[in-house]
Amino acid sequence: MGSGHQVHQTQACVVGSGCAGWATALRLKQLGVDVLLVTQALRDGTSHNTGSDKQTYYKLSLAGFENDSVGEMARDLYRGGGMDGEIALCMAAGSARGFLNLCELGVPFPTDAYGQYAGYQTDHDQRRRATSAGPLTSQYMARALEKAGLASGVRVLEHLCAVELIVHEGRVCGLIAVDTDRQSEDGHGLVEIRADQVVLATGGAAYCYRDSVYPESQSGMLGLALQAGAVAANLHQWQYGLASLGFRWNVSGSYQQVIPRYVSVDAEGNAFEFLADALGEQRAMDMTFLKGYEWPFDAAKAKGSSQVDLLVHREMHEKGRTVYLDYRHNPRGWKPGGEALSDVPRQYLVSSGSVQDTPIDRLLHMNAPAVALYRDNGIDLAAQLLPIAVCAQHLNGGLMVDADWQTTLPGLYAVGECAGTFGVRRPGGSALNATQVGAQRAAEHIARQPKGEQAYSGDAAVRALAGMLDALTEGGRPIGDVAAHFRAAMSRHAAFLRDVEGMRALKNELAQMLREVNQWTCPTGRPAAWLTARDQMRTQLACVDAMLLAAQQGLPGTAMVYPRAAVPDGNHIVQTQLAVDGVVSTMREATPIPESDLWFENVWRQWRERNKQD
């Protein structure tokens, strides 16, 4: 192929159109930076296509007599473990600003009659910092930010899949994308974007797992940054929980509080009430109720409500059965009025007036929209069983960033879920706060940089990639099969239950596959799928390596590991980097929360200096 590919130039290029991508593009534009947003599709990804019972936004308290401060919030985030102090402080310091900006843009966060943003307590939260605009909070956020971004004149290129970074003299200076509308043409639809700074806002690495509650349209794209030399942080820290398959949705909150029947079915069609068999009738019902509040799997609750997740996994992966929630029938042992329950769940159901005869009637009474949501997606909970699994929901780790959300590769930033800003236990809702704070930090840092000439041409890199795609062998193993095999293997060996032997074998298999990269068949005219599958395996290799190191060192996490090592003291980060001949993970202490000098005159002077030059 010649060098006749399309070239675009910009000062900053943002990749991704979720809450983080749009927030960054909008801030950049407001700060006078020339910005181009590229995305696979404007409404793809997690922010636009997911939600939950009451999708939560975690922020600094802004109501009543709640005592709160930036320092307290930073400390609470830091206490979750595995998080650098600078990041915790920035997340707290930028929280109110990010939240109020969304309110100004029209996201309907509720207030009382006097304008107070009342809050509630979320998981891993000691205060009432959480708020919600309903089940679709992230969608409202993304739409509001998109509207403001388009109105402010952010340039957008859609149907571009970023596949490779262009690095010159150790600095990122652009990227290569595949135009998916032109990928079957000569030259594979490759497009070059020259930029002084690239901001990845590509979301969580959903493509790592088969059992996943990420929307189908979310894949993630971390491998391109790892391949270019960026260091990742905490790729072993994921969040998993019970979710419905087919239509992907967390079965948290009232879906559990109405106490549906858990049932597994074997290949012959025999049904088993495995929770009651394993736990006894009353405890099975009590644990089901508790799952509503304690939705994510947590190894620390393995003898409590997380037993439910463990038993679901055993039915599926050890016994080969399919697991369902049944809202048509009560679990074994149910007595009218919830009489067989222990005090707390019975009282809750009685107080809510939700003691109807069947789970579906209780759910209709307690939360009718929760039933309507499934109906709108073709599932009638009153008439059919709901298949479920323990699914990957959030990557707490990602690309390691500094206090300006710049990665270890100069010129490359990561914001939102693709940034590795969380450790072990993040308070529910802090992921959405992170999308806004990372955007502020990255945009302000970029705006302070001198404007370059975008002089470096990535022509040679584009030619090399086109040549590699031209030469892909025909008749090898189809890439889709390989990618699906590794997603299933991750769900089996490296999800909320991790076995060291299984992960070692998986790591070797992934490394071998990546060495034989060119023997995989590219679906005709679909290089973006081939390159995404390769990116998936690079990311999986890095994740499994981080998981193995964490397992060997006994680092705390929400996943359960076999065999388990002694847990060390301290607060640790696992760093992972792809190397020429494989992958390397190391462990370091998390940095402490900085003790900033807050004497106003000093802050003001430093601020003036920073904003002149950086």
Nearest to 213 by CA among 161, 250, 188: 250
Out of 10, 11, 24, 40, name the contact with ligand FAD by CB under 6 A: 40
Note the residue count of the chain.
614
Q: How far is the CB of 416 from ligand FAD (least distance, A)?
A: 2
CA angle 378, 529, 398 (to 5 degrees): 85
- Stretch touching ligand FAD by CB under 6 A, among 12-20, 287-295, 340-348, 519-527: 12-20
Does 252 engage in binding with ligand FAD (CB under 6 A)? no
Window of 47-55, 271-279, 344-352, 553-561 that interacts with ligand FAD by CB under 6 A? 47-55
- Interface stretch with ligand FAD, choices 41-49, 67-75, 187-195, 592-600 (CB under 6 A): 41-49
With CB under 6 A, what is the number of residues at the site for ligand FAD? 43
157 half-sphere exposure, CB direction, 13 A CA radius: 22
CA pair distance 120, 464, nearest whole angstrom: 54
DSSP code string of 501-522: HHHHHHHHHHHHHHHTGGGEEP
Q: Find the shortest distance in angstroms from Cβ 264 to ligand FAD.
A: 23
- Residue 227 backbone class (left: φ over 0; alpha: ψ -120 to 50; beta: rest): alpha
Q: The tokens 């023997």 sit on which residue?
A: 519
Contact set for ligand FAD, span 18-37 (CB under 6 A):
18-21
Does 244 sit near ligand FAD (CB under 6 A)? no
Q: Least distance to ligand FAD from the beta carbon of 113, Å?
A: 26
214 lies in the site for ligand FAD, by CB under 6 A: yes
Determine which residue in the list 5, 14, 27, 44 makes contact with ligand FAD, applying CB under 6 A.
Answer: 44
If the CB atoms of residues 248 and 346 are measured against ligand FAD, the closer one turns out to be: 248
Which residue of 10, 11, 17, 257 would you call a contact of ligand FAD, by CB under 6 A?
Answer: 17
Options 55, 139, 237, 307; binder of ligand FAD; rule CB under 6 A: 55
Cα separation, 247 vs 250, in Å, equals 10
Q: Is 11 in the site for ligand FAD (CB under 6 A)?
A: no
At its nearest, how many Å lie between ligand FAD and the CB of residue 376?
Answer: 16
Q: Is 239 in the site for ligand FAD (CB under 6 A)?
A: no
Answer for which of 250, 256, 288, 539 binds ligand FAD (CB under 6 A) is 250
Kindly state the tokens that stand for 141. 């956020």
- Largest Cα–Cα distance of the chain, in whole Å? 76
Phi and psi angles of residue 404, each rounded to the nearest 5 degrees, phi first: -105, 10
15 binds ligand FAD (CB under 6 A): yes
Q: Would you count residue 491 as binding ligand FAD (CB under 6 A)?
A: no
| Of 180, 305, 330, 435, the one binding ligand FAD by CB under 6 A | 435
Judged by CB under 6 A, does residue 82 bind ligand FAD? no
Tell me how crowded residue 121 is: count the other CB atoms within 10 A of its CB. 14
Q: Name the one range near ligand FAD by CB under 6 A: 164-172, 276-284, 427-435, 447-455.
A: 427-435
SS3 263: strand
Give yes or no for residue 13 binding ligand FAD (CB under 6 A): no
Shorter beta-carbon distance to ligand FAD: residue 44 or 315: 44
Say which DSSP state 294 is in.
Answer: S
Q: Which is nearer to ligand FAD, 345 or 416 (CB)?
A: 416
**CB nearer ligand FAD, residue 214 or residue 262:** 214
- Binding letters toward ligand FAD, positions 516-555, x by CB under 6 A: ----------------------------------------
With beta carbons less than 8 A apart as the criterion, state whether 46 and 214 touch.
yes
- According to the binding rule CB under 6 A, does residue 203 interact with ligand FAD? yes
Rounded-to-integer distance, Cα 405 and Cα 591, Å = 15
| Beta-strand relationship, 6-15 and 190-200 | parallel
Q: H or E stretch including 173?
A: strand 171-179
Answer for the pair 55, 393: CB distance below 8 angstroms, yes or no: no
Q: Any contact of residue 56 with ligand FAD (CB under 6 A)?
A: yes
Choice between 61 and 250, CB closer to ligand FAD: 250
CB atoms within 10 A of CB 74: 23
**How large is the C-alpha radius of gyration of the chain?**
24
The angle at the Cα of 486, spanning 480 to 490, to the nearest 5 degrees, equals 145
Nearer CB in complex with ligand FAD: 305/393: 393
Strand partners, 414: 200
By three-state DSSP, how is residue 278 classified? helix
- The answer to whether 228 contacts ligand FAD (rule: CB under 6 A) is no
Place of tokens 């369902």: 324
For residue 139, the SS3 value is helix
Contact with ligand FAD (CB under 6 A) among 221, 385, 388, 401: 221
585 and 96 in contact (C-beta within 8 Å)? Answer: no
Q: Does residue 594 have a cis bond before it (omega within 30 degrees)?
A: no
Q: Does 429 bind ligand FAD (CB under 6 A)?
A: yes
Q: Answer whether 142's CB lies under 8 Å from 384's CB.
A: no
Site for ligand FAD in 344-363 (CB under 6 A): none
Phi, psi (rounded to 5 degrees) for 115? 90, 15
| Comparison of 123 and 326: residue with beta carbon closer to ligand FAD | 123
CA distance 352 to 343: 14
CA angle 293, 330, 314 (to 5 degrees): 65
- 454 interacts with ligand FAD by CB under 6 A: no
User: Pattern of binders to ligand FAD over 134-163, x per CB under 6 A?
Assistant: ----x---------------------xxx-
Instruction: Please state, in angstroms and rounded to a whole number, the distance separating the CA atoms of residues 341 and 51.
Output: 30
Name the one range near ligand FAD by CB under 6 A: 218-226, 263-271, 331-339, 453-461: 218-226
Distance in Å, CB of 224 to ligand FAD, minimum = 7
Cβ proximity to ligand FAD, 39 vs 256, nearer residue: 39
Spell out, one character per residue from 383 to 412, where the chain touches ligand FAD: x when CB under 6 A holds, - when not: ----------xx------------------
Contacts of 508 (CB under 8 A, 6+ apart): none
Q: With binding defined as CB under 6 A, does residue 417 bind ligand FAD?
A: yes
Q: Which residues here bind ligand FAD, judged by CB under 6 A? A: 15-21, 38-41, 44-47, 50, 52, 55-56, 138, 160-162, 201-204, 213-214, 218-219, 221, 250, 393-394, 416-417, 428-432, 435
